[in-house]
């Protein structure tokens, strides 16, 4: 027998996307639609476009290998996992899986809010493919891993979201499949618990089990995976050593322009009934729109938007994200007292500058958002702008290394002579 | 390693368009999951309500009381010599199981969209679990039936032992329809609107509030196409010691169920693969 765990050959998956509405939610819609289109059959066919979520994807995974799937949102990573876990069928192509599969496509699969922690461990365990005897054996271990202790007999609807997630991951993490398919479960929970989950995946892989895992956490992919697959637009961009693929993938972010515009032609712009984002861009100190900044230049974020209805206590903000997903800082216009929040209808530009000599050389992303605190999120654009900071002209020269940390802050130092 | 998926034979994933592979055997290793799905529904159902099990007994009792007032006292429908309350309850018992099984079965896939899009298991377990769960209600409401029998001093016949068989038959009938209706309901939510109406009509087409003897002889073959005729008559026979039902009357209904079950299974398997994309 070969040591192949997964073999994927020319896998494709297409969805039909209609003009305005192909889903007939009621029979009446279907009937009236069919009647209306009787006379113009050809027209209808032209209107129905096909969207390829995956196109001719082929790869092999050896047994015991840990493979990371990387790519932007909508690139097709999750579609691959869904096909491999038999939730959805491919349109063409074929995949072969040798071994028992466990898939974790979300946290808390099969959880019922009305049931207690104990009951949910059994239910979720069974849905994920465990036998009752197996759950019995691992029950204590699961409870300990989840750190929920005496809340075990409380309905999970009363749990805090942290407890819920911990319990859900604990159940999932104790599955013992030969092949584990994991989708972004690490994006949840506090930092401490995330570390624990990553540790658990590392453990699983040491037991010579195969793991395929989708993540936006590049440092985790580089650390945990031997190889990685970079998917873009439903096609494979690169397969290779995890560290190489991650590097190339991140480098590709550099080619993005320093500006994103949202025209009416490109679909609905981000926003709500109150605000509509028109553009977001990055400028250096000389006013050029760019994605590459010298350490001696500030990074100015500019957001151009229209206020559609008078909105009070509206906040615009961003989060500065490091290459491995760490949020370095978050800032909102309300923090500085610039916006009292109340803005009448009209077009606005809001700017914020990240000071020069603050960031160490490296790659960063900005997540942009706008909300009315505690009421509504108007838009949230993850990693909308990506930029690089390079050390070219600063006095200390190109000394960039990891040890220098993500940010540079000038702190007051003092040395006193205490005696001989 | 347990034989959940054979470790030796690989799982092959490819488009199954145009292929008639029923592969029902694949569901067998998941029988424990079936148990857990039913167990979940039972737990959730009895947990939410303050009266819990009380409702399960109370609802049919109140319904039958209303029936007895309207059909027994006011309309003076015959009840083949049995006290009307006991007569109606014996008929309503399997009927309420069937109507709940059918309603839950038809809605089951829509209600499980969370599972359909996130985890794999043979989808057929969902309707099977949905039509099984109300049987637990049936067990509880049988307590009230027992009380009635004692009250009226009715001694059940040996047909009592066959009640599980009639229940199973009602369950299979509900399943056969659920296999057709639940995938259709995913695409067209109209089904959800028509089910309560369908159930109501169907009850009056079954001998629940009136005796079979009220149906003219020449119509009995057509009437027998309704599989619930056999179930209701079977329950009356078992519980009240009524005259044993004529087998010939049940054959048309059994044929209907068989056809629906076979075609429904094929239909369900065909729809199964696109469920995650449309639900």
Domain assignment present for B10: no
Give mean pLDDT, residues B123-137. Answer: 94
Residues composing chain A: 420
Which of residues 365 through 384 in chain A touch B, CB cutoff 8 A? none
A101 and B187: CB-CB below 8 Å? no
Q: How far apart are CA A351 and CA A354, in angstroms?
A: 10
Is A56 in contact with A93 (CB distance < 8 Å)? yes
Q: How far apart are CA A32 and CA A34, in angstroms?
A: 5
Q: Coil, helix or strand for A395?
A: coil
Domain that holds residue B90: 24-278
Question: Over chain A, what is the mean pLDDT?
Answer: 80
Q: Does pLDDT of A210 surpass 80?
A: yes
Q: How far apart are CA A227 and CA A239, in angstroms?
A: 7
Q: Please give the angle made by the CA atoms of B107, B117 and B278, to the nearest 5 degrees.
A: 65
pLDDT at B230: 92
Is A200 in contact with A98 (CB distance < 8 Å)? no
Give mean pLDDT, residues B90-102. Answer: 96
Which is more confident, A137 or A43?
A137
pLDDT confidence bin for A36, thresholds 50/70/90: low
Domain assignment present for B19: no
Query: What does the pLDDT look like over A369-409, one tens digit per residue?
Result: 998 887 888 888 877 888 878 766 544 444 444 456 788 88
Beta bridge partners of A347: A306
Measured CA distances, A115 to A11, A133, A166, B41, B46 (Å): 39, 20, 16, 10, 11
Q: Does pLDDT of A67 surpass 90?
A: yes
In percent, how much of chain A has pLDDT > 70? 80
Of B2, B13, B190, Cβ closest to residue A86: B13
The domains of chain A, with CATH numbers, are: 4-25+44-253 (3.40.50.300), 259-399 (2.70.50.60)
Domain assignment present for B1: no
Domain assignment present for B178: yes
Is A165 in contact with A107 (CB distance < 8 Å)? yes
Query: What does the pLDDT look like over B9-68, one tens digit per residue?
Result: 788 888 876 555 667 777 888 888 999 999 998 888 887 676 777 888 888 999 999 999
B36 and A123: CB-CB below 8 Å? yes
Which is more confident, A194 or A20?
A194
Domain assignment present for B80: yes
A87 and B276: CB-CB below 8 Å? yes
Q: How far apart are CA A166 and CA A152, in angstroms?
A: 12
pTM for the structure as a whole? 0.72
A114 and B44: CB-CB below 8 Å? yes
Kindly write down the DSSP assignment for every residue of A263-316, as one continuous string: -GGGSSPSB-SSEEEEEEEEE-TTS-B-SEEETTS-EEEEEEEEE-S-BSS-EE
Domain assignment present for B73: yes
Measured CA distances, A256 to A252, A265, B135, B154, B277 (Å): 8, 20, 60, 84, 32
A21: left (phi over 0), alpha (psi -120 to 50) or beta: beta
With tokens 């072969």, the residue in question is A96
pLDDT at B87: 93
Domain assignment present for B12: no
Q: How far apart are CA B276 and CA B128, in angstroms?
A: 19
Q: First and final CA of chain A: distance in angstroms?
A: 75
pLDDT at A398: 43
Cβ-Cβ contacts under 8 Å for B24 (sequence gap 6 or more): B124, B265
Q: How far apart are CA B220 and CA B211, in angstroms?
A: 12
pLDDT at B6: 43
Domain assignment present for B179: yes
Range scoring the smallest mean pLDDT among A188-197, A284-293, A337-346, B194-203: A188-197
B13 and A30: CB-CB below 8 Å? no
A295 near B CB under 8 A: no
Number of separate domains in chain B: 1
Cβ-Cβ contacts under 8 Å for A319 (sequence gap 6 or more): A327, A329, A330, A366, A367, A369
Residues in chain B whose beta carbon is closer than 8 A to a beta carbon of chain A?
1-2, 4-5, 7-8, 10-16, 32-33, 36, 39-40, 43-44, 47-48, 114-121, 187-190, 273-274, 276-278
pLDDT at A255: 42
pLDDT at B98: 97
Q: Does pLDDT of B145 surpass 70?
A: yes
Look up residue B255 and give its DSSP letter: H
Q: How far apart are CA A382 and CA A402, in angstroms?
A: 25
pLDDT confidence bin for A21, thresholds 50/70/90: very low
pLDDT at B247: 81
């Amino acid at each position: 027998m070969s040591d192949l765990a997964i073999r994927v050959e020319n896998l494709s998956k297409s969805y039909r996307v209609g003009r305005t509405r192909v889903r007939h939610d009621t029979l009446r819609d279907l009937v009236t639609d069919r009647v209306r289109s009787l006379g113009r059959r050809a027209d209808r066919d032209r209107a129905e476009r096909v969207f390829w979520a995956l196109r001719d994807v082929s790869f092999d995974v050896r047994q015991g290998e840990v493979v990371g799937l990387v790519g932007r949102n909508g690139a097709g990573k999750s579609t691959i996992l869904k096909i491999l876990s038999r939730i959805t069928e491919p349109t063409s192509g074929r995949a072969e899986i040798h071994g028992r599969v466990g898939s974790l496509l979300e946290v808390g699969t099969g959880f019922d809010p009305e049931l207690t922690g104990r009951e949910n461990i059994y239910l979720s365990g069974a849905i994920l493919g465990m036998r009752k005897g197996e759950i019995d054996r691992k029950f204590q271990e699961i409870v300990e891993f989840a750190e929920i202790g005496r809340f075990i007999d409380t309905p999970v609807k009363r749990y805090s979201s942290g407890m819920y997630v911990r319990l859900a991951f604990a159940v999932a993490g104790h599955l013992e499949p030969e092949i584990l398919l994991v989708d972004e479960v690490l994006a949840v929970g506090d930092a401490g618990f995330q570390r624990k989950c990553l540790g658990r995946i590392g453990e699983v892989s040491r037991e010579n089990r195969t793991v395929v895992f989708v993540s936006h956490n590049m440092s985790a992919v580089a650390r945990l995976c031997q190889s990685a697959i970079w998917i873009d637009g439903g096609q494979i961009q690169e397969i290779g050593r995890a560290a190489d693929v991650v590097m190339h993938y991140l480098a590709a972010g550099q080619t993005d322009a320093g500006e994103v515009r949202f025209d009416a032609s490109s679909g609905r712009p981000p926003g709500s009934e109150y605000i509509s984002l028109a553009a977001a861009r990055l400028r250096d100190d000389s006013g050029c729109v760019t994605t590459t900044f010298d350490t001696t230049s500030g990074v100015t974020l500019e957001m151009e938007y229209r206020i559609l209805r008078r909105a009070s206590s509206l906040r615009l903000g961003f989060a500065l994200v490091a290459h491995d997903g760490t949020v370095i800082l978050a800032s909102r216009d309300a923090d500085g007292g610039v916006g009292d929040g109340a803005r009448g209808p009209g077009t606005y530009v809001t700017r914020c500058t990240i000071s020069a000599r603050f960031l160490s050389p490296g790659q960063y992303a900005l997540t942009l958002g706008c909300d009315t605190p505690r009421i509504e999120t108007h838009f949230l654009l993850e990693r909308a702008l990506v930029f690089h900071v390079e050390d070219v002209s600063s006095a200390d020269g190109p000394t960039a290394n990891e040890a220098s940390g993500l940010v540079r802050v000038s702190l007051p130092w003092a040395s006193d002579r205490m005696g001989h | 390693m347990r034989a959940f998926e054979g470790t030796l034979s690989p799982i092959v994933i490819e488009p199954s368009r145009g292929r008639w592979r029923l592969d029902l055997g694949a569901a067998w290793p998941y029988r424990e999951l079936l148990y857990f799905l039913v167990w979940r529904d039972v737990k959730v159902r009895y947990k939410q309500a303050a009266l819990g099990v009380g409702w399960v007994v109370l609802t049919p009792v109140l319904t039958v009381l209303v029936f007895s007032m309207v059909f027994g006292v006011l309309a003076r429908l015959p009840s083949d010599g049995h006290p009307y309350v006991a007569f109606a309850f014996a008929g309503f018992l399997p009927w309420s199981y069937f109507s709940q099984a059918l309603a839950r079965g038809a809605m089951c896939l829509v209600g499980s969209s969370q599972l359909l899009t996130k985890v794999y298991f043979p989808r057929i377990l969902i309707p099977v679990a949905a039509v099984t769960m109300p049987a637990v209600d049936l067990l509880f409401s049988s307590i009230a039936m027992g009380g009635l029998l004692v009250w009226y001093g009715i001694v059940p016949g040996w047909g009592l032992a066959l009640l599980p068989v009639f229940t199973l038959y009602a369950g299979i009938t509900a399943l056969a329809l659920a296999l057709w209706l639940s995938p259709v309901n995913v695409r067209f939510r109209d089904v959800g609107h028509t089910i309560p109406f369908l159930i109501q009509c169907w009850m009056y087409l079954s001998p629940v509030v009136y005796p079979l003897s009220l149906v003219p002889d020449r119509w009995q073959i057509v009437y027998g196409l309704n599989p619930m005729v056999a179930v209701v008559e079977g329950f009356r026979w078992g519980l009240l010691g009524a005259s044993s039902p004529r087998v010939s009357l049940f054959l048309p209904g059994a044929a209907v169920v068989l056809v629906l079950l076979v075609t429904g299974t094929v239909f369900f398997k065909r729809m199964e693969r696109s469920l995650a994309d449309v639900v």
